[in-house]
Amino acid sequence: MKSIDKKAFTLIEMVVSISMITIVTALFIVNYRSANKRTDLIMTAQNLVADIHLAQNNTLGLVKYNDTVPAGGWGISFDVDNDHYILFADLDSPEDAGYMSMDEATEARPEYGGRTTQLAPDIRISKLTLDGGTEVNAASVTFLPPDPRTNIFDTNTATSSALEIELTEGRNNSIKTVRVNFLGLVEVLD
């Protein structure tokens, strides 16, 4: 009788092969999720830039809020440690004391063009820095018609020539910074 040689994997070879495939798959998934979070942060920063431009364009176009052109133009309001920012119509004229603050209940109503924008999951506004390095807890950027002149205010009603909005992704603490200057130029810094 002839001996038949059967070639097959042993149990140990199968376990080692499956283990290697599992390790490679796990590494791929971790890397994929990390890259996806970086993409979320980049897209969030770009959306913020687009919304600042929207406020600027609303002011240039004299877009009405509740059938009235806002006396103080359109703007964006930021708070540190928030997962959102607010597009609002500044109904106060520049001479009014309330010009530096935003009233969400009356100036950011969605039915009139205001909007609260949620940031992507695990992303928050971690720091607001005025030109000169002063950190603040809240700030707003408004565009005053018809120029539109750019106004940058903090909660103490101080004006600044620039504002940096730092966005942080919570899982691996990646950071993107959006900078707005007194000319209305907006850029994402690395």
pLDDT in tens, 37-77: 678 889 999 999 999 999 999 999 999 999 999 988 999 99
Three-state secondary structure of the chain: CCCCCCCCCCHHHHHHHHHHHHHHHHHHHHHHHHHHHHHHHHHHHHHHHHHHHHHHHHHHCCCCECCECCCCCEEEEEECCCCEEEEEECCCCCCCHHHHCCCHHHHCCHHHCCEEEECCCCEEEEEEEECCCCEECEEEEEEECCCCEEEEEECCCCECCEEEEEEEECCCCCEEEEEEECCCCEEEEC
Q: What is the pLDDT of residue 98?
A: 43
How confident is the chain (190 residues) per 10-residue block, as mean pLDDT? Answer: 70 88 84 70 94 94 92 91 92 58 82 93 92 89 84 76 92 90 90
Q: What is the pLDDT of residue 97?
A: 43
The model's pTM: 0.79
Structural domains counted in the chain: 1
Residue 59 falls inside a structural domain: yes
Residue 46 domain boundaries: 28-189
CATH number where 178 lies: 3.55.40.10
Residue 134 falls inside a structural domain: yes
Residue 2 falls inside a structural domain: no
